[in-house]
Amino acid sequence: MDKLLAIKTFIQVVDAGTFTRGADVMNLPKSTVTRMVQALEKEVGAKLLHRTTRQLSVTEEGAVYYEGAVRLLEQLGQLDQSVAGAGAAPRGRIRVEAAGAVVYNLLIPALPDFLERYPLVQVELGVGNRSIDLIAENVDCVVRIGSLINEGLIARPLGRLSMVTCASKAYLARHGLPAAPADLEDDHTLVQIVAPRTGRAFTDHVSRNGVTVTLKSGHRLAVNDSTAALMAAVAGVGIVTTYAFLARPYIEAGNLHVIFPDWGSESVEAHVAYPVNRHLPSKVRVFIDWVIKLFEQQNS
């Protein structure tokens, strides 16, 4: 048995979810893929997969073996790169997680540029702004909005994201344009953003001449996603305070109108981070450098 090939086959079957799809990806007969996984199970002395006629799942031992096998192949790839020299083109799969607002409005629109620069790199992009164990979940780096609380990460700053308060013209036609933050309590509705994990409501503030005021009003809608809140504001549901980069296209198109332009809005820090005890292969390094440049352009 070619054990390395068997390990790669096992990983591919788990990633694909079935032996049939795994065999298709590897361009091998299903029977060959099945025999290799069975031989691997015999070699390691443990059942790695539960098989039924309709579905496939990983055993407890299989999950442990899968995570270790993925890390092993990553280390082999890093070894190949170190031997090949610094001039070798970055290659391989990288797993990234970022907040939805960043994914949809910054990373995805610019991603063709990165993929064209590095044609041998494959990006797996997860959407979320949750606190995770990057090593346990085999994530190479994360783009986070807000403070980082994980001390096991090396964080590189991406600058601060400015905020803006705005509403649609249809909403303002119904309720009037508030001249000052205190006017929100009269006859206005906010689109409330809550934390995805805890449901805690976020509060927003504006400042002028050294005075900071909390934006207060009732709400008819609460959402746990910034893009959803923005779309609600565009639809006329209420006033939203959101990231300026998120609202800018809608403001420039005339779909949203800025409220309190003579008041200063808050800003939120952003970082790209990776595990402190993980060697940074070139494929991850170039992605991180690209993200930093992307945010520099956004903040300029």
Percent of the chain with pLDDT over 90: 49
Backbone angles phi, psi at 84, to 5 degrees: -65, -25
pLDDT digits (tens, 9 = 90+) for 124-145: 998 876 666 565 567 888 998 8
260: nearest Cα among 209, 207, 298: 207
- The CATH number given to whatever domain includes residue 62 is 1.10.10.10
Neighbours of 233 (CB within 10 A): 26
pLDDT of residue 135: 58
- The whole-model pTM stands at 0.67
**Are both 208 and 149 inside the same structural domain?**
no
Enclosing domain of residue 142: 92-160+269-299
**Are both 258 and 274 inside the same structural domain?**
no
Does 86 have pLDDT greater than 60?
no
pLDDT digits (tens, 9 = 90+) for 148-201: 766 567 889 999 999 999 999 999 999 999 999 999 988 899 999 998 777 788
**Are both 201 and 225 inside the same structural domain?**
yes
pLDDT of residue 255: 96
**Mean pLDDT value across residues 77-89:** 64
Higher pLDDT, 224 or 84: 224
**Are both 59 and 110 inside the same structural domain?**
no
pLDDT of residue 227: 92
Quote the tokens at residue 6: 């068997």
pLDDT of residue 199: 79
| Domain boundary, last residue among 50, 84, 118 | 84
- Look at the block and give the residue holding tokens 């292969």: 281
pLDDT of residue 257: 97
Quote the tokens at residue 97: 């997680």
**Are both 282 and 153 inside the same structural domain?**
yes
**Mean pLDDT value across residues 229-251:** 95
**Are both 171 and 252 inside the same structural domain?**
yes
**Are both 111 and 259 inside the same structural domain?**
no
pLDDT of residue 276: 72
**Are both 180 and 242 inside the same structural domain?**
yes
pLDDT of residue 54: 66
Number of domains in the chain: 3
Angle at 124 between CA 160 and CA 41, to 5 degrees: 140
pLDDT of residue 74: 77
**Are both 275 and 151 inside the same structural domain?**
yes
Give the span between the Cα atoms of 18 and 265, in whole angstroms: 51
pLDDT of residue 241: 95
For the chain, the average pLDDT equals 87
pLDDT digits (tens, 9 = 90+) for 27-55: 888 899 999 999 999 988 999 998 765 67
The partner residues of 95 in beta bridges, in order of sequence, read 124
**Are both 100 and 234 inside the same structural domain?**
no
pLDDT of residue 145: 87
Does 297 have pLDDT greater than 70?
yes
Does 249 have pLDDT greater than 80?
yes
Give the span between the Cα atoms of 287 and 91, in whole angstroms: 11
**Are both 165 and 259 inside the same structural domain?**
yes
**Are both 124 and 216 inside the same structural domain?**
no
What is the pLDDT confidence band of residue 25, given thresholds at 50, 70 and 90? confident
- The CATH number given to whatever domain includes residue 107 is 3.40.190.10
- Residue 165 CA, chain-centre distance (Å), reads 24
